[in-house]
Homo-oligomer: A and B are copies of this chain.
Amino acid sequence: MEPTNSFVDEALLKRVPRWSKYLEAKLGFRNHWYPVLLSRDIAEAQVVPATVCGEEILLKRIDGTVRAIRDRCLHRGVKFSEKVECYTENTITCWYHGFTYKWESGKLCDILAAPDSKAIGRRGVKSYPVQEAKGLVFVFVGDDDVEVPPLSQDVPPTFLDEDLSVHAAIYDVESNWRVGAENGFDGLHVYIHRSSELVPNTQRSLPIGHLSDSAKVEIFEEEGAPKGVYDLFANHVSVWEGKVEGKTVITGTKRVSDKPTRTTAASIWLPCVLRVDNFPDQEITQFEWYVPVSADKHLYVMTVGKRVSSEKERADFEHEFWSRWKPVGFENFNAQDIGARVALQKYYKNDNSWLDEMLIEGDAPIIKWRELCHKHARGVQKPEHM
């Protein structure tokens, strides 16, 4: 048994009083909505497993609506997904002794091998609130006695806008989710993207660094609205030349154009989602989630959204997604981020490292993000929830 108090060492937590909950949140934050699946990847009647914040869940689409329950039989703890048995549309039966649960409520409604048990009708597995939006299946990972907030409080502003057409893809990444979030929000890390195919592809500018003015970073913490840290690049000092001992050794890409060629802002929102404005191209917004799976894995849920006002615009953007933004954005530009996160994980897997790192001035927005999480997250996921 892993005792609860050794999840993260108390002595370390005490050293970061302003963001100790963030340091503790190896498995993410509890009582939040997380995207776990693409809507297109769960057809009617299909049963699909997922792991979020360390909890193994099972999803099924029934009459169009996705339901989610804990993927673990109450009786002896085996996973339903080892061998799925669904004898009726609305139930799932454990392959081991025939314990049968309702998808909607999780309630134990029958035990095939023991039809007279008193447990029937009285017990149930955890069921999870599910909501679909913009082609993603969101699951609320939380306590049973908590009032479920609307999804709109857990996604960045504009994501749910009706005229926003969204396309998405999901990747597994071998790093903690916080390493993903911090790499994404980090204004300096553009350094690694200077050679990305995306730069010539979009004919846009890309500096080798840009430094936040920490006084101008905006905190969104209004009651009942998404909580986030917003960093407008207009407030930044961009760096176009990289110098070693006074000599320029690398340069960014600076285009002269009569139209705007720059990404304009990055913002990061609870529970784990980044918004990048005017990226990968003008008038497109990238929203990306770093969904906690385990202490050393996250689901990288990437989406791009564009406002469309006609079917043709919608179809054009769809075509563009498959031909440009997925291969050149997600799978070239963002693959560089994945590489960085895997490298970071070797260091940050050790809890001590969070206190040993040497952040600099340009990292101020990251500290604001940690503090925002500490202050506004609805709970810390812990081993006892698993």
Contact B112 A191 (CB under 8 A): yes
**How long is the Cα–Cα vector from A209 to B98 in the complex, in angstroms?**
9
**How long is the Cα–Cα vector from A238 to B19 in the complex, in angstroms?**
59
* Nearest Cβ on chain B to A258's Cβ, whole angstroms: 28
Question: With a CB–CB cut-off of 8 A, which chain B residues contact A346?
Answer: 77-79
Partner of A245, one of B97, B110, B239: B110
Evaluate whether A113 and B75 lie within 8 angstroms (CB atoms) in the complex, with A3-B9, A100-B244, A191-B98 already known.
no
Question: With a CB–CB cut-off of 8 A, which chain B residues contact A78?
Answer: 340, 343-344, 346-347
* Nearest Cβ on chain B to A270's Cβ, whole angstroms: 22
- Per-residue CB proximity of A327-356 to B under 8 Å, as 1/0? 000000000000010011011101111001
* Nearest Cβ on chain B to A220's Cβ, whole angstroms: 26
Evaluate whether A96 and B189 lie within 8 angstroms (CB atoms) in the complex, with A78-B347, A88-B247, A347-B76 already known.
yes
Contact A119 B191 (CB under 8 A): no
Evaluate whether A96 and B359 lie within 8 angstroms (CB atoms) in the complex, with A91-B244, A243-B110, A244-B91 already known.
no
* Nearest Cβ on chain B to A49's Cβ, whole angstroms: 13
Q: What is the total number of copies of this protein in its complex?
A: 3
A259 part of interface (Cβ distance < 8 Å) = no
Partner of A1, one of B97, B100, B190, B350: B350
Partner of A77, one of B97, B192, B347, B362: B347
Question: With a CB–CB cut-off of 8 A, which chain B residues contact A188?
Answer: 97, 113-114
- Per-residue CB proximity of A1-17 to B under 8 Å, as 1/0? 10100001100100000
A303 part of interface (Cβ distance < 8 Å) = no
Question: With a CB–CB cut-off of 8 A, which chain B residues contact A357?
Answer: 75-77
**How long is the Cα–Cα vector from A285 to B292 in the complex, in angstroms?**
51
CB-CB contacts below 8 Å: A79-114 with B: 79, 82, 87-88, 91, 93, 95-98, 100, 109-114
**How long is the Cα–Cα vector from A169 to B122 in the complex, in angstroms?**
43
Nearest B residue to A112, CB-CB: B242
A116 part of interface (Cβ distance < 8 Å) = yes
* Nearest Cβ on chain B to A42's Cβ, whole angstroms: 22
**How long is the Cα–Cα vector from A123 to B265 in the complex, in angstroms?**
31
Contact A209 B112 (CB under 8 A): yes
Nearest B residue to A362, CB-CB: B114
Contact B343 A87 (CB under 8 A): no
Partner of A98, one of B74, B208, B340, B351: B208
A257 part of interface (Cβ distance < 8 Å) = no
Question: With a CB–CB cut-off of 8 A, which chain B residues contact A79?
Answer: 343, 346
Q: 10 nearest interchain CB pairs?
A: A113-B209, A77-B347, A112-B242, A87-B249, A113-B191, A1-B9, A113-B188, A74-B358, A78-B343, A97-B188
Knowing that A110-B245, A112-B242, A117-B362 are A-B contacts, what are 4 other residue pairs whose CB atoms are under 8 Å apart, sorted by A's residue number? A78-B346, A109-B244, A113-B239, A114-B239
The 15 sampled A-B contact pairs (Cβ below 8 Å) are A1-B8, A3-B9, A75-B357, A87-B244, A88-B244, A97-B188, A97-B191, A98-B208, A110-B245, A111-B360, A112-B209, A114-B239, A114-B361, A117-B360, A119-B358
